Amino acid sequence: MNGKQAVGSAKAPPAIGPYSQAVRSGAWLFLSGQIPLDPATGEPVAGGAAEQTRQVMDNLTQVLAAAGAGWDQVVKTTLYLTDPADFPVVNGIYQGYLTPPYPARATVGAAWLPRGVRVAIEGTAHVPEEVR
């Protein structure tokens, strides 16, 4: 496939700005940063870093599924945290969604994230035609 195609899932929160939940270009899938919004309400989930990370990972799982993919196809992620003290909790929950070989990853401290949340995650997946 040439060009780009928007990918999205009604089981994940809609974009809150002028972007797509994900964009496919050929075999590559670029996942926009997800924050811990409940897809049913559009509001951030209650709780701390653990609850927020689970919601982000669940949201990303739904967008991957809409593209015919899963976490096994994710090759790179970036985690954004507003509090570095949350790292051990976020890392443990993140790891629970993945199997080796793990994606390449960067973790970035963020002074601010939309809606006052503590965590956001974006990623890139390689999803060749035979996987979809």
Residue keyed to tokens 């997946």: 125
Phi, psi of 20 (to 5 degrees): -100, 155
Q: In angstroms, what CA-CA distances link 84 with 50, 60, 67, 91? A: 13, 22, 32, 11
DSSP β-ladder status, 104-109 and 74-81: parallel
Question: Is residue 1's pLDDT more than 60?
Answer: no
pTM across the whole model: 0.95
Beta bridge partners, 74, equal: 125
Query: Do the Cβ atoms of 119 and 35 come closer than 8 Å?
Result: yes
5-126: CATH topology: 60s Ribosomal Protein L30; Chain: A; (3.30.1330)
Q: Is 24 helix (H, G, I), strand (E, B) or coil?
A: strand
Q: In angstroms, what CA-CA distances link 106 with 4, 63, 120? A: 25, 20, 12
Question: Is residue 132's pLDDT more than 80?
Answer: no
| Domain ranges, ordered by start, for the chain | 5-126
pLDDT of residue 128: 87
pLDDT tens-digit readout, 57-79:
999 999 999 999 999 999 999 99
On the CB side of 49, how many CA atoms lie within 13 Å of its CA? 17
pLDDT of residue 2: 60
Average pLDDT of span 117-124: 98
Q: In angstroms, what CA-CA distances link 2 with 11, 28, 49, 125? A: 27, 11, 39, 17
pLDDT tens-digit readout, 67-120:
999 999 999 999 999 999 999 999 999 999 999 999 999 999 999 999 999 999
pLDDT tens-digit readout, 11-42:
999 998 999 999 999 999 999 999 999 999 99
